[in-house]
């Protein structure tokens, strides 16, 4: 988990986070098949994405930021989002969730902290299901989602091509709302 010397603050993402969020995401674009984006972004290109996640409502962006006791906030350690699942109106009560951690923050409990806060923030929203697509293989992400009650509902085989090969995406769902 987290070192005893480092505090982590989870808060809504804001405009001043745009460069750090873009840099973190671009790592996954360039180095992994976790995302199927294939070209790194400039911060300005990611601004519409950031602005599509207000501080309240069903579509959120939460960031985890390092904070040393007695010091000002430090670097961004990760983020979690809830976004529209599909654009058609009948899907409005479903969201797609995702979490990204800085490479050196993986395995420190940042993803767990972010999902705990995100799912708690969504409790009062008019939502019924959360979905997560996980490019395979990715055992750490599968374990994280299962820890939060997501269950495997299907796999799209060889649905994306990146780095010269095809990748499967396993889909997970979790109930939201009062009956969850």
152 token code pair: 């495997």
169 token code pair: 């995406």
- Alpha carbon distances (Å) from 77 to 65, 117, 126, 154: 5, 15, 29, 30
Q: What is the pLDDT along the chain (180 residues), one digit of tens a residue?
A: 454 556 899 999 999 999 999 999 999 999 999 999 999 999 999 999 999 999 899 999 999 999 866 656 689 999 999 999 999 999 999 999 999 999 999 888 999 999 999 999 999 899 999 999 999 999 999 999 999 999 999 999 999 999 999 999 999 999 998 766
| E strand residue ranges, the chain | 7-12, 61-67, 73-84, 94-101, 129-136, 151-162, 165-175
pLDDT for residue 178: 72
Whole-structure pTM value: 0.92
pLDDT for residue 84: 97
Question: What is the spatial distance between Cα 160 and Cα 154, in angstroms, rounded to a whole number?
Answer: 15
Question: What is the spatial distance between Cα 30 and Cα 26, in angstroms, rounded to a whole number?
Answer: 6
153 token code pair: 């509902």
pLDDT for residue 67: 81
């Amino acid at each position: 988990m987290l070192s005893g010397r480092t505090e982590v603050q989870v808060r809504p993402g804001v405009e001043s986070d745009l460069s750090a969020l873009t840099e973190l995401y671009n790592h996954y674009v360039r180095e992994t098949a976790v995302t199927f984006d294939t070209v790194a972004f400039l911060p300005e290109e990611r601004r519409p994405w950031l602005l599509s996640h207000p501080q309240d409502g069903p579509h959120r962006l939460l960031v985890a930021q390092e904070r040393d006791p007695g010091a000002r906030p430090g670097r961004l350690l990760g983020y979690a989002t809830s976004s529209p699942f599909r654009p058609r109106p009948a899907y409005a009560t479903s969201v797609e969730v995702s979490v990204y951690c800085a490479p050196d923050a993986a395995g420190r409990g940042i993803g767990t902290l972010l999902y705990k806060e995100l799912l708690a923030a969504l409790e009062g929203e008019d939502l019924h299901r959360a979905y997560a697509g996980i490019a395979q293989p990715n055992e750490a992400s599968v374990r994280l989602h299962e820890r939060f009650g997501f269950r495997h509902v299907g796999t799209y085989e060889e649905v994306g091509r990146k780095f010269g090969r095809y990748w499967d995406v396993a889909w997970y769902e979790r109930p939201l709302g009062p009956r969850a």
